[in-house]
Structures are given as structure tokens and as C-alpha cells.
């Protein structure tokens, strides 16, 4: 990038900062919760607001609000539609590439009012951070794209060569129900050479980061049966195995002495991870004094590059209802993380195979409700990653040099994602 362009972009971003934050606040005031129990009119309103913001840049050939049928209903006469998304495109010129900008304008439900210090949909600055549902995830992502486009236009003029495509989803927080159909129906208009997803975390508030890999997810229930019916523990206890005994012994085979996963056929990824010491792990996770971390290798490699298996629930009699009974059946919820590069079906087969093979006393196992999510791993050798790294360095230098000159907001994470994001800082 030329020096003039760099300076121009920095100046524009600084000059427009207050306006950008004011627009972010307007967007945040729309309670665009995409969950079914909430009024979808708010999601429509936020789509319209985002479309207006995109139109205000004046660089697109078109800006539209579109919906697609919920995935799996393509052939129905009157399919249920997903929430509205904003799509925009500007054709490239002179052989320039096209960059697709992604973010989402819907939010998670606010939860209980009494757990908020300030109203969830009234953006409030505390210190140098902005608090409200969606202030970070992901309306900040929307505004980052909008202000980047404006800065580019203000500096390079509106005749720049770069092609742009925009996809601002309206149902990311509700499992992206029409995502597959939306991509299929809008394939040509979303085609791009690189995609920038503004919906992941930074290393810390002073260090931007690029998410280059994510673990996949495998979750299912395993039902463990040992008896046709419950029996008295005073009579049969010690002679026949209850389902809880079988469950405890079975689950114990999933990890070794260090707490590392001990299932054959689960792979790890070869990722270089930034430094992250045990003290930071303890602080960020709330690990109790005297309780040791689990696993082996670099700490971040355990969380980003290696598989993990967690028991997240057990259906068995609760203590209030515990009688002197041998329990005939127990159901365990297993939630596992798949290392980048491994197919989740292969992982699921290896894990259920392990459980079947290790079922103690011939206990009967059945597997229910499997959910499989793919891992993600990006090739970082291409030009897009080199450009984004250079841009981040530039932003860091700019930020340090103007520290104190601008009334600075930094939005706060208001919801945590289910999967730990893998970043290269």
C-alpha cells in the first residue's frame, strides 16, 4: 500500500470514529434476537438499518435484503424462510480481486435483566468499553466493514478497482438455518477471491488476531443399560452391575492419567500456537488453586489443535429421589472437540467404536442424537493472509501513535461462542 493511501485511511478512520460509534449504537438499540420466541420484526429492522449503512457507502452496484428457505425444506410448496440477510456487490475492475465481507446482524437473547448492570439494548460506555447485547458480537463486525469501505472510498475515490461482496447474516445465533440455501441461491453474487469474517475474538484488547483454525464438534447421548428393570441394592448389589457402575467404568476409559484423550483414531493438528502460560490459563478459566490442568504439550495446542472429550450431562435419578435401587439405565451426554483436519464422522465412528469396545460387563449401549460440526483450517500461505497481517500491523502502529487523542471505545464481548477460536496473533 502506498504511504499516501496509508495516511489517508488512518486519518479518515480517526476523523470518522465518533460517527462510526454513534451508528454502532443505533444498530445495537435494535433488539434483533433471532431465536424463535422473539419478535422477528426486530431482525427485519436491523437488516434494513444494515442495508442503509451499506447503501450510504455509495460503492455498491446493488444492496438487497434477501431470505432463503430453511435448509432441508427446498422442495416444499410453502417453505419456512430464514431471517433476512443483507447482500451487496460491486464488480471488480481491471482484473482486481473481489473480497467478501461477512458479519451477522442478529444477536443472542439478552438473558435476565437483573444480570445486566445497564439495559441490554441501551449501549453504555463504561471506562473505554461499550456494553450492550451485540455491541461486540457482531454489530461491531458490521461497523468495521462499513467504516473500512468508507475509509477506502474517502482515500482512493469511488472509482477503485477492488471488487466487493457483502453478506450480513440475520440468523447466525440461531444455527444459520437457511445458510446452505442462501449460499446456493446467491452463489454468483457472493463469489469472491477472499473472505473476511468479522466475527471472532482478538488475542487481547491491544492485539488484533486472525482466526486461522477452529475445532469441530461432535456431541451425542450414550444410553447404558444393564438390567430389564430396577432391583433392590440390598438384595442384588455386589452380584449384578448397575448402569451407573458400567457408566463410570466406561467413561473412565476415555482419558489417561494426565486427563488427555485416550481414544484410538482421534488425530491432532500440527499448529504453531502463541505463548500462553499456566498462570493465564488459571486466571482466564477460574481453575481452583491446587487443581492441575490436564493434557500434554503447549497449553494452546491442547485447546486448539488436540481433541477433547467432555461429559456435559447425565440422566440418572437425582439425589432427592435416590432410593436403595440398582439403576438399570443411565444416559450420558458427551460433547467432544475435533482437531482441525479430522472429519467429524471419522471422529464420531472412532469414539463410539471405543465406547462399544470398552463397554464393561457387556453393558448394552445405544447412541442417540448425534450432532456433527466440521473443523476449520485455513491455508495461511496465500496473499490475503499476508495483506491482513500487514494491515493489522499498520492498525497497531496507528493506534499507538494516536493514543489519547480520540475518545476511544472498545466494545466488550457480550456472549461467548460455543467453540474456542483458534487465532494466530
Binding positions for Zn ion, rule: CB under 5 A: 137-138, 199
Main-chain dihedrals φ then ψ at residue 10, nearest 5 degrees: -60, -45
Q: How far is the CB of 23 from Zn ion (least distance, A)?
A: 19
Q: How far is the CB of 413 from Zn ion (least distance, A)?
A: 10
- Residues contacting 366, CB < 8 A, separation 6+: 222, 223, 225
Say if residues 69 and 185 touch (Cβ distance below 8 Å): no
Q: Which is nearer to Zn ion, 23 or 199 (CB)?
A: 199
Q: How far is the CB of 257 from Zn ion (least distance, A)?
A: 38
Q: How far is the CB of 134 from Zn ion (least distance, A)?
A: 9
Say if residues 166 and 86 touch (Cβ distance below 8 Å): yes
Distance CA 364, CA 361 (A): 9
Q: How far is the CB of 137 from Zn ion (least distance, A)?
A: 4
- The 10 Å Cβ neighbour count of residue 263 is 18
Q: Which is nearer to Zn ion, 23 or 137 (CB)?
A: 137
Say if residues 366 and 397 touch (Cβ distance below 8 Å): no
Identify the bridge partners of residue 367 per DSSP, sorted by sequence position.
222
Say if residues 120 and 99 touch (Cβ distance below 8 Å): no
Q: Which is nearer to Zn ion, 170 or 216 (CB)?
A: 170
Q: How far is the CB of 32 from Zn ion (least distance, A)?
A: 12
Q: Which is nearer to Zn ion, 141 or 344 (CB)?
A: 141
Q: Which is nearer to Zn ion, 138 or 242 (CB)?
A: 138
**Cell numbers placing 388:** 491482513
Q: Which is nearer to Zn ion, 23 or 138 (CB)?
A: 138
Distance CA 303, CA 334 (A): 17
Residue recorded with cell 440455501: 181
Amino acid at each position: 500500500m502506498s504511504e499516501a493511501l496509508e495516511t489517508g485511511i488512518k486519518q479518515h478512520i480517526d476523523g470518522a470514529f465518533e460517527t462510526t460509534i454513534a451508528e454502532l449504537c443505533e444498530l445495537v438499540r435494535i433488539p434483533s434476537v433471532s431465536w424463535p420466541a422473539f419478535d422477528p420484526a426486530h431482525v427485519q429492522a436491523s437488516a434494513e438499518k444494515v442495508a442503509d449503512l451499506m447503501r450510504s457507502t455509495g460503492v455498491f452496484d446493488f444492496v438487497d435484503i434477501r431470505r432463503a428457505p430453511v435448509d432441508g425444506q427446498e422442495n416444499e410448496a410453502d417453505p419456512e424462510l430464514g431471517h433476512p440477510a443483507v447482500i451487496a456487490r460491486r464488480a471488480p475492475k481491471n482484473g482486481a480481486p473481489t473480497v467478501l465481507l461477512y458479519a451477522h446482524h442478529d444477536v443472542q437473547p439478552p438473558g435476565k435483566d437483573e444480570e445486566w448492570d445497564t439495559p441490554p439494548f441501551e449501549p453504555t460506555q463504561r471506562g473505554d468499553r461499550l456494553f450492550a447485547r451485540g455491541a461486540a458480537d457482531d454489530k461491531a463486525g458490521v461497523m468495521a466493514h462499513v467504516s473500512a469501505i468508507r475509509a477506502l472510498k474517502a482515500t482512493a475515490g469511488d472509482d477503485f478497482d477492488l471488487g466487493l461482496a457483502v453478506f450480513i447474516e440475520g440468523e447466525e445465533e440461531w444455527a444459520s438455518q437457511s445458510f446452505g440455501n442462501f449460499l446456493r441461491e446467491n452463489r454468483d453474487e457472493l463469489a469472491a477471491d477472499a473472505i473476511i469474517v468479522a466475527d471472532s475474538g482478538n488475542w487481547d484488547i491491544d492485539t488484533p488476531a486472525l482466526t486461522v483454525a477452529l475445532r469441530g464438534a461432535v456431541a451425542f447421548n450414550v444410553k447404558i443399560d444393564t438390567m430389564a428393570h430396577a432391583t433392590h441394592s440390598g438384595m442384588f448389589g455386589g452380584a449384578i452391575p448397575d448402569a451407573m457402575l458400567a457408566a463410570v467404568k466406561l467413561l473412565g476409559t476415555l482419558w489417561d492419567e494426565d486427563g488427555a484423550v485416550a481414544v484410538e483414531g482421534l488425530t491432532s493438528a500440527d499448529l504453531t500456537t502463541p505463548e500462553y502460560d499456566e498462570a493465564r490459563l488459571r486466571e482466564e478459566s477460574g481453575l481452583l488453586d491446587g487443581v492441575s490442568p490436564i493434557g500434554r504439550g503447549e497449553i494452546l495446542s491442547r485447546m486448539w489443535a488436540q481433541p477433547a472429550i467432555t461429559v456435559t450431562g447425565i440422566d440418572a435419578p437425582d439425589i432427592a429421589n435416590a432410593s436403595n435401587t440398582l439403576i438399570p439405565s443411565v444416559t450420558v451426554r458427551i460433547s467432544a472437540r475435533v482437531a482441525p483436519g479430522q472429519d467429524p464422522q471419522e471422529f464420531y465412528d472412532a469414539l463410539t467404536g471405543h465406547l462399544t469396545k470398552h463397554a464393561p460387563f457387556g453393558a448394552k449401549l445405544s447412541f442417540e442424537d448425534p450432532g456433527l460440526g466440521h473443523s476449520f483450517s485455513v491455508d495461511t500461505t496465500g496473499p490475503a493472509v499476508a495483506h491482513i497481517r500487514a494491515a493489522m500491523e499498520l492498525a497497531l502502529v496507528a493506534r499507538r501513535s494516536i493514543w489519547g487523542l480520540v475518545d476511544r471505545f472498545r466494545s466488550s464481548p457480550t456472549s461467548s461462542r460455543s467453540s474456542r477460536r483458534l487465532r494466530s496473533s
